[in-house]
Structures are given as structure tokens and as C-alpha cells.
Structure 1
Amino acid sequence: MMFWYDHDVSGWGWFTMSVGMILFWALIVFFGVLLYRALARPGGTGTTAGTLPHEPTPEQLLAERFARGEIGEDEYHRRLTVLRGRAGDGTRLSKG
């Protein structure tokens, strides 16, 4: 029985074991959360480049204004022609 008295864990040993166990479980939980967030992301690709909201084009904005009734059909067609870069006679407008 005298053999066990020589290998007793001191107060610092208990402290380091307790801190070590807390750090171990904190790391397990941390990596579990990271894994869950990576797998639960929409698209599942793990990239953020495809998640940015897309900005509507000028033609889409014009169509929305026409759909809401803010502009009439003639105004819509006239502005759409200008947006597409064509003059009233069907020729391309020059940039300059």
C-alpha cells in the first residue's frame, strides 16, 4: 500500500486535468459547430461568392415601373429602346 502514496496527484495536477478536460470539450463543440455551419449553408458549397444578392438590371427596373403603372406603354418602349442603345430609326447610337 505504500506504493500508491508516492504517485499522488497534487493540487496543480487536478487543476491542469480540469482545465485540459474543459479545453478538450470546448474544441470538440467548436469543431462540431463549424461542421454543422458548413453543411447547413444553402447551396452546400461553402463559398460566399454565390450568396450575394443580385442587383436588378436597368431593364428589369424599367419593367417593374411599367408593371406598377408608373409609366405608360409608350414611355416604356421609348426608354427600353434608349437602354438597348438604339435610336428611334433602328440604328445604333454612337457612344461619344
Structure 2
Amino acid sequence: MYGWGGDSWGMTGWIIMAVLMVLFWGGVITVIIVVLLRRPHSDQGTNAVRPSHHQAEVILHERFARGEIDETEYLTRRTALRRPE
């Protein structure tokens, strides 16, 4: 009998340890990847949060460009969006 438990686990102990080590390091790498992907990218920075009226104007402009609304409706809605709240 060598060591603490002798040879009771044999090759099974080595296989279990190898599988657990792979699972552990796989978990560590997964956590690191998730943290890096959730971090804001450099191109998003502080300008990533835009006022909601800006996004609404972009959508309104796209609808006008596609011909879904006419110029009168476009100007009326844009004026309404730009009014102070």
C-alpha cells in the first residue's frame, strides 16, 4: 500500500481526475468567453445608449425613404418627435 488509499481506485481514479480537470478548465474558459462577449465593444462605448426619439426618427426616415408615408406625414411626425417633452 502506497500513499493514502493504496491502489483501491487504480486506473478509474486517474480517468475520473482527468475528466474532472477537463470539465473544470472548460468551465473556466466558458466563463471567460461569456464575460468577454457581454462586455461593450470599443465601437459601442458611451454612445451606445441613444435617446429613444433618435431611434424613432431613424425608423421614420426609413419609412419615408421606402415610400410607406408621404412627405406631409413625415414632416408632421418628425415635428412631433422633436417637440420637447
Q: Tell me, which stretches of 5 or more residues in structure 2 are unaligned?
A: 43-47
User: Could you tell me which residue of structure 1 aligns to residue 2 of structure 2?
Assistant: 7
1:60 alignment partner AA: V
Distance in 2 between residues matched to 1:79 and 1:36, nearest whole Å = 43
Structure 1 residues 70 and 25: alpha-carbon distance in aligned structure 2, compared to 1, 3 A threshold: closer
User: Could you tell me which residue of structure 2 aligns to residue 66 of structure 1?
Assistant: 64
Cα distance, 1:66 vs structure 2: 0.8
TM-score by length of 1: 0.47
Distance in 1 between residues matched to 2:66 and 2:59, nearest whole Å = 11
User: Could you tell me which residue of structure 1 aligns to residue 81 of structure 2?
Assistant: 83
Runs of 4+ in structure 1 deviating by more than 6 angstroms, as ranges, are none
Structure 1 residues 63 and 13: alpha-carbon distance in aligned structure 2, compared to 1, 3 A threshold: same
Percent identity (aligned):
28
**SS where residue 9 of structure 2 aligns?**
helix
Structure 1 residues 28 and 59: alpha-carbon distance in aligned structure 2, compared to 1, 3 A threshold: closer
Q: Count residues in correspondence.
A: 71
**Alignment partner of 1:31 is 2:28:** yes
Give the structure with the larger helix fraction.
Answer: 2
| C-alpha RMSD of matched pairs (Å) | 3.4
Distance in 2 between residues matched to 1:78 and 1:33, nearest whole Å = 50
Distance in 1 between residues matched to 2:60 and 2:17, nearest whole Å = 63
Larger relative CO (CA 8 A, sep 6+): 1 or 2? 2
Structure 1 residues 16 and 72: alpha-carbon distance in aligned structure 2, compared to 1, 3 A threshold: same
Per-residue CA deviation, residues 37-79 of structure 1 (Å, 9 max, x unaligned), is 545x3728xxxxx7xxxx7732222211111112222221122
TM-score by length of 2: 0.51
